[in-house]
A = this chain, B = another copy of it.
Amino acid sequence: MLNYHFLLDLAIILLSTKVLGIITRKIHMPQVVGALAAGLLLGPAVFNMIHETEFIKQTAEIGVIVLMFTAGLEIDIKELKKCGKSSFIIALFGVLVPLAGGFAVAALFNNGTLVGLDTESLLQNIFLGIILTATSVSITVETLQEMGKLKTRSGTVIIGAALIDDIIGIIVLTFITSSAGSDSNTGFVLLKILLFFAAAAIIGILFFHVFNTYSKRYNEKRRFPIIAFSFCLIIAYAAEHIFGVADIAGAFIAGLVISGSAHTKYIKRRFGILSYLFLSPIFFASIGISVSVDSITGEMIIFSIILLLVAVLSKVLGCGIGAKLCKYSKKESLQVGVGMVARSEVALIVANKGVTLGLLNSLFFTPVIFLVIVTSIAAPILLKLAYGKSGDNQIECTEGFVEEEPFD
């Protein structure tokens, strides 16, 4: 006999993420904060109402895959080229500095020393760095839009850089997850990664051409989201199963492949609905389940605060330096840096993956959630300070880049 309790669980998850999302929205905070708060309330940390089941675990995983797939879909490679070298340089520094910062913090707490590490600790420390690399641009986009600054020089470059940032982050993630699974033979790992990217490129190009040609020929659009979804799932599965690379990297690449095909906008809307109506709330509930209260010790609080500071400063510095190198003014460089501070779903997704792979001590999960909540709240405030009342000249470039908030 089927136990029907999961229906009630689902109703509670949907309602609480939505209600808290609406509340945080009302007090001008991102809905992600509300959804996360709902997850925490439902989990063992507070009310202990939702328990992990195979259904929640697997549905959350599909939710994560869809979120990463959508992140890939956001990136229109042709458009990206227009935004040029500046975005790339800013993104590169915006990944490397937080990566180093996160690594340093982890090393400090994980081993108490920066030298003499075994491979496993090394990978674990790098992993904390990777979590810090993922920028969430949706909060920035909304804030800039509200202020009418989205089409300024700095606004445009932020969006381009945040997208490239995702790509670089996924490449780094691929390296690290691939190293984790294997018997740490570096040559073999590199070969696997090389094969993964080669296979992804060949299959991606082939699939894009077939899919795009087929898409253009048919007006009956409803089949395309299904084909895209299946492709995404197969690539995600193959990444894990054949290459030992994180499934989310595969999903992101699948999104990248399909972005720029004829019906991308249509496909994106369908996945947005699937996500907000069903998958994302379950993802947030699963995050809430992962958090245990036992982990909140004095040391953990100190760690959380240091991690937060490093996360904010390393992004501001990294992206700021990148912008300065590209001849942006001091003020603009600061704006760019601040615009990249927010972390959101991707940081959670990567952290979650790390726990699954044994690359992140589950104790570190709570600080990451803290980081996401605080940066999500702080980003709009910092942005408003950084932009002040200056009258930057508006330029055109961003249309089509603007991410839709997946929860509302």
Q: Does A225 contact B (CB under 8 A)?
A: yes
Q: Does A108 contact B (CB under 8 A)?
A: no
Query: Across the interface, do A278 and B278 meet the contact criterion of CB distance under 8 Å?
Result: yes
Query: Across the interface, do A15 and B230 meet the contact criterion of CB distance under 8 Å?
Result: yes
Query: Across the interface, do B4 and A241 meet the contact criterion of CB distance under 8 Å?
Result: yes
Chain A positions 199 through 240: 1 when the CB is less than 8 Å from some CB of chain B, otherwise 0: 000000000000000000000101101110111011011001
Query: Across the interface, do A7 and B237 meet the contact criterion of CB distance under 8 Å?
Result: yes
Q: Please, how many angstroms separate the alpha-carbon atoms of A230 and B408 in the complex?
A: 15
Closest-by-CB residue of B relative to A271 is: B277
B-binding segment of A51-59, A98-106, A324-332: A51-59
* Chain B residues whose C-beta falls within 8 Å of the C-beta of A234 in the assembled complex: 7-8, 11
Q: Which of A7, A53, A226, A271 has the most CB of B within 10 A?
A: A7
Question: A65 and B7 in contact (CB under 8 A), knowing A53-B54, A58-B55, A356-B2?
Answer: yes
Query: Across the interface, do A273 and B276 meet the contact criterion of CB distance under 8 Å?
Result: no
Q: Does A27 contact B (CB under 8 A)?
A: no
Q: Please, how many angstroms separate the alpha-carbon atoms of A15 and B54 in the complex?
A: 23
| From B11, B22, B277, B356, contact of A274 by CB (8 A) | B277
Within 8 A of B (CB), among A1-53: 1-2, 4-8, 10-11, 14-15, 18, 22, 53
Q: Enumerate 28 A-B pairs (CB-CB under 8 Å) in ascending A order.
A: A2-B58, A2-B61, A2-B356, A4-B236, A4-B241, A6-B58, A6-B61, A7-B61, A7-B233, A8-B234, A8-B237, A11-B234, A14-B226, A14-B229, A15-B226, A18-B226, A18-B230, A22-B223, A53-B54, A55-B59, A222-B408, A226-B276, A226-B281, A270-B273, A270-B277, A273-B273, A273-B274, A274-B274
Closest-by-CB residue of B relative to A14 is: B230
| From B5, B55, B58, B408, contact of A220 by CB (8 A) | B408
* Chain B residues whose C-beta falls within 8 Å of the C-beta of A223 in the assembled complex: 18, 22, 408
**A43 → chain B, closest Cβ, in Å?**
18
Query: Across the interface, do A227 and B55 meet the contact criterion of CB distance under 8 Å?
Result: no
Closest-by-CB residue of B relative to A408 is: B222
Q: Does A62 contact B (CB under 8 A)?
A: yes
* Chain B residues whose C-beta falls within 8 Å of the C-beta of A356 in the assembled complex: 1-2
Within 8 A of B (CB), among A250-282: 270-271, 273-274, 276-278, 281
Question: A276 and B222 in contact (CB under 8 A), knowing A58-B55, A233-B14?
Answer: yes
Query: Across the interface, do A4 and B225 meet the contact criterion of CB distance under 8 Å?
Result: no
> Which A residues form the contact surface with B (CB < 8 A)?
1-2, 4-8, 10-11, 14-15, 18, 22, 53-55, 57-59, 61-62, 65, 220, 222-223, 225-227, 229-231, 233-234, 236-237, 240-241, 247, 270-271, 273-274, 276-278, 281, 356, 408
Question: A62 and B227 in contact (CB under 8 A), knowing A274-B274, A274-B278?
Answer: no
Q: Please, how many angstroms separate the alpha-carbon atoms of A229 and B273 in the complex?
A: 13
* Chain B residues whose C-beta falls within 8 Å of the C-beta of A53 in the assembled complex: 54
Query: Across the interface, do A277 and B225 meet the contact criterion of CB distance under 8 Å?
Result: yes
Instruction: Return the 9 tightest CB-CB contacts between A and B, nearest first.
Output: A11-B233, A7-B237, A54-B54, A11-B230, A55-B58, A15-B230, A8-B237, A4-B240, A18-B226
Q: Which of A22, A58, A220 has the most CB of B within 10 A?
A: A58
Assuming A6-B58, A11-B229, A54-B55, what are 7 further A-B pairs, CB within 8 angstroms? A7-B62, A10-B62, A10-B233, A15-B230, A18-B227, A54-B54, A225-B277
Q: Please, how many angstroms separate the alpha-carbon atoms of A222 and B408 in the complex?
A: 6
* Chain B residues whose C-beta falls within 8 Å of the C-beta of A231 in the assembled complex: 11
